[in-house]
Structure 1
Amino acid sequence: MFKLGDIAVSRKLMLLLSLALVGFIALLLISASALQRNLMSEREARLQAVLDLAMSRIQALAATLPAPQAQAEARAMLNSMRFDGDNYLFVLDENRRMLVHPVRPELVGQQMGESGSATAGAHWQRMVDLGRGGQQGRLEYQWVSPSGESAQKLSLVAGYQPWGWILGSGVLLQDIQATIWSQYQLMGGATLLVTLLMGLLGFAISRSIVNPLAEINRAMQQVAAGDLVVSIPVHGKDELGAVASCTNQGLSAIRHALLEASQGAGNVADAALRIAASAEQTNQAVNSQRDQLAQLATAMNEMSATIADVAGHAENTARDT
């Protein structure tokens, strides 16, 4: 069974850093995706605003002028309209015939999307289908420039049903892709920098935790082997430093207690020796007194015998006289 406590501290820190890196990368991808959606929405909104403006002007012309004159005025107006630099509007009819193209006037009158022609492409028919009957729509397609270069393009179309016109405009997506790539590089560089800083910080934190723990572990092994004079280096004032300091204080207290116990045992041994010596002296004194008493008893016995002899002699002498 997996237990977090079975993993070394250094590996736990590496796991934490790895998760942080994965989070940064996920955030980078999410941010880039959100940026792409926002840029696309912004471009669509700008295209829609341009189409709405052109449509409102066409409707105003149609309401105030005869149809031929209104259409001529509308063509002139659309040919002169520009936005976001060189972007423009074009007009198709419902048969894919180009009616207005400010940048390539040679296309006017041509039927777009014919197979094998320079204007081939299914997107022209899709534009007509989207705008037919006064409807609106969007589409993305591969656009080929007059020089033959290919690029992704976003276009919006809107139909003006009274004239059978389909207005369209588009923007190239390469600038969006360039912006996204630029953001990728910026955020990727920031992520790399933060990852390196976190790696260095994690390495420093790992060393500040693992090394003191290793020193404490070695010291405890020496204590278990009976070496009580070991001392643990104190590297800081954090929790590990406090543990090392408290352990040193505990070992010092143990050494002091053992020293006092050793000194107490020595004092007890000295006292025992003194008591033994005193007992020996007392024993010798008792033995000496016993000998003296024995000698005194012997002397008294001898004296008693002498007195008895003297008394006997005196008695004998008395009888003889």
Structure 2
Amino acid sequence: MTALSSSHASELSQPKIQIGISACLMGHEVRFDGGHKRSRFCTDVLSDYFDYVPLCPEVAIGMGTPRQPIRLVSDDNKGVVDDSTEVFARGTRDETLDVSDDLRQYGRMQGQQQQNLCGYIFMQKSPSCGLFGVKRYLSNGMPEGSTRGLYADEFCKQQPLLPVEEAGRLNDPGLRENFLVRVFTYSDWQQFSAQPYSAKDLIEFHARYKYLVMAHSQSHYKSLGRLLADLSGKDIRQIGQEYFSELMQALAKPASRKMHTNTLMHLQGYLKNRLSTDDKQELTDVIHQYHKAIVPLIVPLTLLKHHLKNHQEVNQYAWQQVYLNPYPYELGLRNDI
């Protein structure tokens, strides 16, 4: 599914994007207590666009349901705990239960096998699946910090560019929007790179993403321009991989209100000789209102797209920008940022 236009994204006949997800978030009763943590946003909203691959590492490695809970424990035998300290996944009631190696091995295996994924939604706070701030304990049972779940850590090492997020963090409008921008971009690139492409094709791909990158990272906006400035005699597939790596790194940086405003003003420039004085002032005023947090991003974007559509015959470059429709419009993600 291409991120180029909302009409394309709305066509449910298009193949859905494959997304990995913690099985409990799909309502599967695989939690340690035999329950689940169904995410209605994932199952009821995103399921129109995503084809989920549910995974539960704890069940996959042979732990039953229900089962003894596990927690992450630091190896503090040396008396010092730092970033290099090894972390184990052990039973909370019986510490002879140690599934550390099994979880890591399963994470490596799935990370290598699941090559068709364009994103992954993990269960927060889980000692196997948590991405951020999973509690870590000393051997005496006292909490001493936080880390990443063992399965999630190994999986992400195998696919470092894959968009990943925790279900709980998807409640934050900015994080939710950023994750989905990256997922649809990742999918667009996977489709693009699945076929042979030339230097011209790569430049045209970047041309569509130019202003989306601008909204996320000025430094990558410049470095990607330099990367593609002269492709004569270069290995285009190698350059393509470098380009994709930088593109995903750029989009991993959340777009700020200031950066969105700057991007909107750049796109407005394509209309400077096409709009009446009143229309031009109205668009400028609405962009400033967004910058001052009076209106959400969807307001200036809607007006900008209205004018670009009316003048697309002379502004095709601006009209084709993925920034205008990086994911299905129906998701309404820019209503809240």
TM-score, normalization: structure 2? 0.18
TM-score, normalization: structure 1? 0.19
User: Normalized per residue, which structure has more helix?
Assistant: 1
Higher RCO structure, 1 or 2 (CA under 8 Å, sep 6+): 2
